[in-house]
């Protein structure tokens, strides 16, 4: 693709330097003060207009087309890091103990900055205004996307399309993944408290054993998925944590707590399931003489990719990587707060291949050894810019 004289090799080197700075200085969700300031300095240097302070440290930059445009296209990158101690032995290793860009958000920001540079150099080809959303807090409920829209960071009704990419260590550098329709699951947090009556482990008839009840619940609650949901709708219910207040080898505690997640690809079934989970837990506890408190915290909705936008984006990114390097993605039961945008705006969320087996870059996201093949960054920047220019 012709970038109007832009030296891609030089730009790639500049972007790698930016990414390494971001990687070395990660900040947790809604604490991205220095990250935001760093981005603002780049935008100031390049003469790009922006507003800031959205959802804490969010930024919305704008490049206007040379022809009048009522509406606009949006590109989004998330900025926050994870509470993970990095184990990579690299010059750009995290300087902040216990905090790491283990989900590639440093790459997302860098790709978006690269897209700005490419679009600036090709603004005469732009047929719509573009807003660049640098978003905080993707990793923490309710999500920076929700808060930025709630605060009016940009005019949702004028945003006709929104796009974002995400690193994908399961795909090698040079490839891009696309999928239309529902792509990523909703995610809700489940907190269950079973209250019984504690006592001596040798005299269980004098107690109401919440651990025994929890055992029944752990198995039985899966019937909500296996027997109450439409089997054609992807659905996962996982209890990932159980602990008691008190208790010992010879002591039955009075309280047991369980925590888990519920995920599905259908919004209607999602809220039906919430009611079923409440009813099941409370009825089971009551049947054993105990009580159950159920708290379901609503997380991110289903992420839905617009079919037309995926087709357009596929055509655009094919000019960057070649049509034979654009792959069809399977659905994922992980979740993303970009889904908040797709509930109100036609959107396309796609994947950027970042692995390189020859260089040993294969670790998955959310691990202490995650890293990317930095050759992928210039590809991501071009992909985002190409979508806007098309």
**pLDDT given at position 68:** 86
Can you say whether residue 289 is alpha, beta or left, with left for phi > 0 and alpha for psi between -120 and 50 degrees?
left
Q: What is the pLDDT of residue 232?
A: 95
Question: 163, 183, 280, 300: which one is catalytic?
Answer: 300
Clarify whether 374 is annotated catalytic.
yes
Half-sphere exposure of 316 (CA within 13 A, CB side): 22
Distance in angstroms (rounded) separating the CA atoms of residues 86 and 84 = 6
d(CA 78, CA 32): 10
Low-confidence ranges of the chain (pLDDT < 70): none
- The pLDDT score that the predictor gives to residue 191 is 98
User: What is the structure's pLDDT at 160?
Assistant: 96
pTM for this structure?
A: 0.94
Res 390: pLDDT = 87
Exposed, middle or buried by CB within 10 Å (0-12, 13-18, 19+), for 262?
buried
73 forms beta bridges with 130, 161
Choosing from 27, 86, 336, 374, the catalytic residue is 374
Count the neighbouring beta carbons within 10 Å of the beta carbon of residue 302: 22
* Catalytic residue list contains 280: no
Q: Is the separation of the CB atoms in 334 and 167 below 8 Å?
A: no
pLDDT in the model for residue 2: 83
């Amino acid at each position: 693709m012709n970038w109007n004289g832009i030296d891609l090799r030089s730009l790639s080197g500049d972007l790698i330097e930016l990414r390494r700075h971001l990687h070395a200085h990660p900040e947790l969700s809604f604490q991205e003060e220095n990250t935001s300031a760093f981005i603002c300095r780049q935008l100031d240097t390049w003469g790009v207009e922006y507003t800031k302070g959205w959802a804490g440290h969010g930024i919305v930059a704008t490049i206007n087309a040379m022809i009048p445009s009522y509406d606009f296209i949006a590109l989004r990158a998330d900025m926050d890091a994870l509470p993970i101690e990095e184990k990579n032995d690299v010059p750009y290793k995290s300087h902040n103990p216990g905090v790491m860009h283990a989900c590639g958000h440093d790459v997302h920001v860098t790709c978006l900055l690269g897209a700005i540079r490419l679009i600036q150099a090709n603004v005469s080809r732009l047929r719509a205004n573009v807003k660049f959303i640098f978003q905080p807090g993707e990793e923490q409920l309710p999500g920076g996307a929700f808060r930025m829209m709630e605060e009016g960071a940009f005019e949702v009704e004028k945003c006709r399309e929104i796009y974002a990419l995400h690193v994908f260590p399961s795909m090698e550098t040079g490839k891009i993944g696309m999928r239309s329709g529902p792509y990523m699951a909703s995610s809700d947090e489940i907190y269950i408290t079973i209250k019984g009556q504690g006592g001596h482990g040798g005299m269980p008839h004098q107690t109401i054993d919440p651990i025994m009840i929890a055992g029944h619940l752990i198995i039985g609650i899966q019937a909500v998925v296996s027997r109450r949901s439409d089997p054609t709708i992807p659905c996962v219910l996982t209890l990932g944590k159980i602990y008691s207040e008190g208790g010992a080898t010879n002591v039955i505690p009075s309280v047991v707590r369980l925590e888990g997640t519920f995920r599905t690809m259908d919004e209607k079934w999602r809220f039906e399931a919430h009611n079923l989970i409440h009813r099941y837990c409370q009825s089971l506890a009551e049947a054993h003489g105990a009580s159950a408190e159920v708290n379901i915290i609503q997380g991110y909705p289903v992420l839905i990719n617009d079919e037309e936008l995926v087709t357009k984006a596929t055509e655009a990114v094919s000019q960057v990587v070649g049509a034979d390097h654009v792959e069809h993605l399977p659905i994922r039961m992980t979740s993303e707060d970009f889904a908040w945008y797709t509930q109100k705006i036609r959107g396309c969320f796609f994947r950027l291949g970042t692995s390189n087996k020859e260089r040993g870059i294969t670790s998955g996201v959310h691990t202490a050894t995650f890293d990317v093949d930095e050759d992928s960054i210039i590809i991501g920047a071009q992909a985002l810019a190409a979508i806007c220019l098309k």
